Chain A
Amino acid sequence: MESLGHLADGFGTALTPINILWVFLGALMGTAVGVLPGLGSAMAVALLLPVTFTLDPTAAFIMFAGVYYGGLFGDSITGILLNTPGNSTAIAGTFEGHKMALNGRAPQALATSAIGAFTGGLLATTLVALFSPFLAEAATSFGPAEFFALTVVAFIATAAIVADSVIKGMTALGIGLGIAMVGIDTQSGALRFTAGVPELFDGISVLVVTVGLLALGEVLYIASRRRHSDNTSLINGTGRPFLSRAEFREALPAWLRGTAIGVPFGAIPVGGAEIPTFLSYGVERNLDSKQPEPQFGKQGAIRGVAGPESAGNATAGTAMGALLTLGLPTSATAAIMLAAFQQYGLQPGPLLFDRAGDLVWALIASLFIGLVVLLILNLPFAPLWAQLLRVPKPYLYAGITTFAVLGTYAAASSLIDLALLVAIGLLGFLMRRHDIPLAPVLIAVILGPLAETEMRRTLAISEGSYAAFFDGPIVLIIYGVMLVGIAVAVFTRIRNRGAAA
């Protein structure tokens, strides 16, 4: 197959000593950021973006490959040992994982999680490597109406389907779209909402929004709850980190089922891996309850860790595929990766494989290498990573703040960006306090300009006829899938409400 040849070239680029060092460094830093409570892989990529500014694009993306999966490996360590998942995608794996840790099986839970993350990521990345070129080719036939439909699905899915409350989700989306409108309108050249500040002509940078919302918002939130008692205790996770043959055999089907659940979710824009991880947890629990001796909820079930963990990384794997081939970020992390591509003047999408084929294949090869490095870093050393959490909170968050302003300032040497960072940090704090989801803001900031461009192109081609939005089979399929998703969400909510009453 043609893609295998390209992939071999990619490995050729990635497997030089210096590039292996970049993957390794990326994996190391990604895991470190992921371990920190409240900071997941999106934050890992955002905080480390400035580190790569001075590298050439290939080295930078090779490093991102390590960071990308590293954040996902790290966040479950915190969940298992501390019961405070580093990211929302690690919540599902925490239920059984922390129970296992409480019962003296912390090393096994960590190993199950690491192997699960490896399995999910590996299978999903393999699919991406094999099928991306075909998907990219299919996507070249997409017109503005199709891309607009995809962005609408992304907005509705993150805001209305994933969020607990439709109003809260839409609120986040509205704020994000408002932020996205600032700057020069690329089509007409009109200045929009810049208040005459030249630094705002290029719009508000995605990096500033991400770091402000996720990092500073978290720091302020932690500060506001300083007096709350902190009764979490770190469980010592040292001991035999390897699974016995029986444990491995028990976890294997769950790893594979989790991967199967996670893979399709990366390809559709629903804002990340929350749904597949919970879905996988639900599946494993249902299967378990049919066993003669159910394990869930008691000593901690190994399959309850294996399923969600592989589902989460499988989603991340195919999300990278969707980003590369469609230019469509389906999760917050992928959205920051998109910003990273744009930083280097590259536009992910159907044409990327032609225009920057070498770089893309080196990136895909690095994803594989990154997974292997992460497995090595995490399988024996997971408890060591947890030691990061022993750093006293004031220093930990002071350090996070320092890196947040460093990343923001280094990106454009702009004091206006720092002021925006503080304002958006406050916004993130308020949103956390009132339980407003943050992901829709990011999705809106990233996809807002794309949605507007494609919407106006559609209308320009059709000379103002709104029927053009629903013209063509692909568009109708996309909206059809969205309607099914809404129906499923409404149905589940009504059923849950009935069960709760």
Chain B
Amino acid sequence: MSTQPEERTEPEAAENPPATGSFAIAAVVLGVAVYLTQGLLTMEVPSTADFPGPRFFPTVVAVLAYILVVALIVQGVRNRALPAQPTRTSPGTDWAAVAGIVATLIVFTLLLRPLGWILAGMLLFYGVAYFLGSRRLVFDLGLALGVSSIVQLVFSAGLGLNLPAGVLGMI
């Protein structure tokens, strides 16, 4: 509910991407629904469970999800059917940057234990900065190493958090 919808859009007026329908979201919700259904069918319910057992609530959620999938598809089709809105000339989505950051995060996850926090964290910082457009190789690498080292110092040595030492720990 917004009592002043016309004002509410003001500061972010240029932010909304052109309506491309909600099919991507419908796919996500369908994924949730199918995963729940599969889980409900294969769930081993202990014989001691009384009504309403462990299946009751998830079933309600799964049904809600299927209804939402239908609603989202209907909404998406309707939006497509609308006369095309005059679209602003926008540079579009930078999928390469998104994919790059996701790949960086996956590599970080895989290398965190073998390499240790300092090196993996440096890689992460450098990767994200790179895909956000920073191209100063030496400076960025140095900054990344500085950030990950300070984190290691403050959080691991100082506050006692458990961060993997990795290869550097073996030296």
Contacts and interface: CB of A to CB of B under 8 A. Distances in A.
Interface residues of B, number: 83
A224 interface: yes
A212 to B, nearest CB: 10
Contact of A225 (B44, B51, B93, B113): B93
B132 A222 contact: yes
Contact of B54 (A50, A190, A434): A190
Nearest to B154: A51
Contacts of B125: 398-399, 401-402
A406 B117 CA distance: 9
Nearest to A165: B75
A390 to B, nearest CB: 15
A190 B148 contact: no
Interface of A: 50-51, 53-54, 79, 83-85, 91, 94-95, 98, 161-162, 164, 167-168, 170-171, 174-175, 177-178, 181, 185, 187-193, 216, 219-220, 222-229, 274-275, 278-279, 281-282, 392-395, 397-399, 401-402, 405-406, 409-410, 413, 415, 418-419, 421-422, 425-427, 429-431, 433-436, 451-452, 455-456, 459-460, 464, 488-489, 492-493, 496, 500
Contacts of B44: 190-191
A193 B57 contact: no
B28 to A, nearest CB: 7
B29 to A, nearest CB: 6
A167 B75 contact: yes
Contacts of A398: 124-126, 128-129, 132, 134, 144, 147
A230 to B, nearest CB: 11
Given A174-B68, A410-B155, A493 B1 contact: yes
B61 A224 contact: no
Given A171-B29, A278-B3, A422-B102, A224 B93 contact: yes
Interface in B71-115: 71-72, 75, 90-95, 97-98, 100-102, 105-106, 108-109, 112-113
Interface in B22-40: 22, 24-25, 28-29, 32-33, 35-36, 39
A53 B53 CA distance: 35
10 contacts: A91-B11, A171-B72, A187-B54, A188-B53, A220-B102, A278-B2, A398-B124, A405-B105, A405-B124, A455-B52
> Main SS of chain B's interface residues?
helix
Contact of A434 (B7, B24, B160): B24
A415 B109 contact: yes
Contacts of B25: 171, 430-431, 434, 436
A488 B36 CA distance: 34
Contacts of A492: 1, 3
The 6 A-B residue pairs with the shortest CB-CB distance, nearest first, are A394-B134, A188-B49, A227-B91, A394-B132, A185-B54, A223-B97
Interface string B41-59: 0011110111111101110
Interface string B141-153: 0011001100100
A181 B36 contact: yes
A192 B58 contact: yes
Contact of A170 (B48, B68, B131, B155): B68
B65 interface: yes
B54 A188 contact: yes
B165 interface: no
A496 B33 CA distance: 34
Given A85-B11, A192-B39, A398-B125, A223 B94 contact: yes
A226 B94 contact: yes
B133 interface: yes
A193 B29 contact: no
Given A434-B22, A492-B1, A223 B131 contact: yes
Contacts of B93: 224-225, 433
B49 to A, nearest CB: 4
Centre residue among A50, A174, A216, A229 by max chain B CB count within 10 A: A174
Contacts of A409: 112, 163
Contact of A190 (B8, B46, B108, B134): B46
Contacts of B95: 224
B91 A220 contact: no
A85 B7 CA distance: 14
